Each structure stands twice: as structure tokens, then as C-alpha cells.
């Protein structure tokens, strides 16, 4: 019973956070990116103090994110770009498929809470139709708070989304259009179903 109460509380706070982030998203769609580009990022540019929603759920979030970020930064600066993209995308894809196959995600309605519980980010389904979908991810593990480096960074999260949707609906292509890495304060993905 306590676990159910905790999940209900997290769900309610998640809805409040999504409303706040959606307002920021709408503003940036009109005004463009909110941050100027940084030419030479350093490792410390990828570390964060906290993600607002996730740190309210658990104080240990910052350690989880910073460990992941150092892996991401190393891959970004050490591996050739196609290798980094493929590795992170495949890792996320496998997680997304596992979430559905294990029963954690039984339908698209389960995905937002699952991505919160796995600390991937706050999933916001912006638009859905039979052959396309647009989703945003706020406070994303890969890029929340990073400087504008002129490129999208969320290959892992794109893979998670693609893996879940592949299991739920079939083949799809996920493309990240907006990202903290391009100066926005959200990650926006466009999905096309094949």
C-alpha cells in the first residue's frame, strides 16, 4: 500500500512538472533556443548539481546522472561520432524493448511513469497520429543543463523511445529535433512509423 501511495504521489508531482516544462517548451518554440552556443565544452560542463523534478524524488539522482554524463562525455570526445551514436542508441533501444517485454510498459500510457522510475526523463506526448508522433523529454539524463554545443545529444533516450514504440506499435524512426545541446531547454523527438 505504501508503494502505491508513493507511485501516486510521484505521478501527481510529475503532472505538475510537465505543466511547467510544457510552458517553457511553448515559449521556446516561438522565441527559439534560450542559450548561446559554447565552442569548447569541458567535462565539468556536462556535470549537474541537480535536475529539479528528479532531485525532489531522490537526492541520489545527481550521482546517477553525473556517472552517466561522464560516460556520455567520454563517448562524445573519444569515439568517432557514428560509433557513439550507434552505441548509445542501441543501449537505449534495448532498455526500451525490455521495459515493454517485462511488462513495466504495457501501453503508451505507462511510458511516462516508467521513464521517471528509470530516471530517463519526463516524457510528454505532444502529438500522436496513426503514422507520426511528437514527444518531448524534460530533465533528460543525457543533456539536462548542458551548454549549447551545436548538436543533439540524446541518442540513448531516442533509442529508449524507439525501443518502446517498436514493441508497442512496430517499426519506427526517431529523430531528435530539439535538445539542450542545441540551446533549447527540452529534448524534442519526431517519430515516423513505417
pLDDT of residue 142: 93
What is the chain's pLDDT, residue by residue, as a tens digit (194 residues)?
Answer: 677 788 888 889 999 999 999 999 999 999 999 888 988 888 888 888 899 999 998 889 999 999 988 887 787 777 667 888 888 999 999 999 999 999 999 999 999 999 999 999 999 999 999 899 999 999 999 999 999 999 999 999 999 999 999 999 999 999 999 999 999 999 999 999 98
For residue 122, report the phi and psi dihedrals to the nearest 5 degrees.
-90, 110
Helix axes 61-78, 81-101, angle to 10 degrees: 140
Q: Tell me, what DSSP letter sits at residue 35? A: S
Domain membership of residue 10 as a residue range:
2-193
Q: Which of 55, 76, 78 is nearest to 144 (CA)?
A: 55
CATH of residue 6's domain is 3.30.1380.20
C-alpha to C-alpha distances, 194 to 14, 107, 165, 167, 173, nearest whole angstrom: 31, 19, 11, 13, 8
pLDDT of residue 111: 97
CA separation for the pair 82, 114 (Å, rounded): 28
pLDDT of residue 1: 62
pTM of the model: 0.92
Say how many domains are in the chain: 1
Q: Tell me, what DSSP letter sits at residue 106? A: S
Q: Is 60 helix (H, G, I), strand (E, B) or coil?
A: coil
Amino acid at each position: 500500500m505504501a508503494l502505491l501511495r508513493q507511485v501516486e504521489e510521484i505521478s501527481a508531482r510529475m503532472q505538475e512538472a510537465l505543466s511547467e516544462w510544457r510552458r517553457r517548451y511553448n515559449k521556446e518554440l516561438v522565441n527559439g533556443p534560450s542559450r548561446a552556443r559554447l565552442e569548447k565544452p569541458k567535462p565539468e560542463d556536462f556535470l549537474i548539481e541537480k535536475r529539479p523534478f528528479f532531485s525532489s524524488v531522490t537526492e541520489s539522482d545527481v550521482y546517477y546522472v553525473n556517472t552517466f554524463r561522464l560516460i556520455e562525455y567520454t563517448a562524445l570526445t573519444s569515439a568517432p561520432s557514428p560509433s557513439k551514436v550507434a552505441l548509445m542508441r542501441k543501449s537505449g533501444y534495448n532498455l526500451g524493448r525490455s521495459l515493454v517485454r517485462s511488462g513495466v510498459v504495457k501501453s503508451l500510457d505507462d511510458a511516462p511513469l516508467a521513464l521517471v522510475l528509470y530516471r530517463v526523463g519526463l516524457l510528454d506526448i505532444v502529438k500522436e497520429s496513426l503514422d507520426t508522433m511528437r514527444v518531448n523529454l524534460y530533465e533528460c539524463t543525457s543533456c539536462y543543463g548542458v551548454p549549447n554545443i551545436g548538436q543533439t545529444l540524446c541518442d540513448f533516450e531516442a533509442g529508449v523511445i524507439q525501443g518502446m514504440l517498436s514493441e508497442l506499435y512496430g517499426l519506427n524512426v526517431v529523430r531528435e529535433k530539439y535538445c539542450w545541446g542545441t540551446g533549447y531547454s527540452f529534448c524534442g523527438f519526431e517519430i515516423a512509423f513505417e
